[in-house]
A = this chain, B = another copy of it.
Amino acid sequence: MPNILIADDHDLVRDTIAAYLETVEDFEVLTAANLNEALEIMGGLDSIDLLILDYNMPGMNGLEGLDRARAVYPACKVALMSGVANRDVAKTAMTRGADGFIPKSLTAASLVNAIKFVLSGERYLPFDFGTAPSETKAEGEFSKLSARELQTLEQLCVGLSNKEIARNLNIQEVTVKLHVKNLLSKLKVSNRTQAALLAKERHLF
A76 to B128, CA, bound (A): 35
Closest to A81 in B: B12
Specify which chain B residues have a CB less than 8 angstroms from the CB of A197 in the assembled complex: 157-159, 196-197, 200
Mask: chain A, 99-130; 1 = CB below 8 Å from B; 0 = not:
00011111111110000000000000000001
| Chain A count of residues within 8 A CB distance of the other chain | 40
Within 1-44 of A, Cβ neighbours of B (below 8 Å) are at 9-13, 15-17, 19-20, 23-24, 33
A191 nearest CB neighbor, chain B only: B159
**Least CB separation from A164: chain B residue:** B190
Q: Are B11 and A194 in contact, CB atoms less than 8 angstroms apart?
A: no
Q: Report the Cα distance A39→B19, complex, angstroms.
A: 28
Q: A19-B23, A23-B23 are in contact. Are A13 and B13 (CB under 8 A)?
A: yes
**In the docked arrangement, what's the CA distance between A23 and B107, Å?**
18
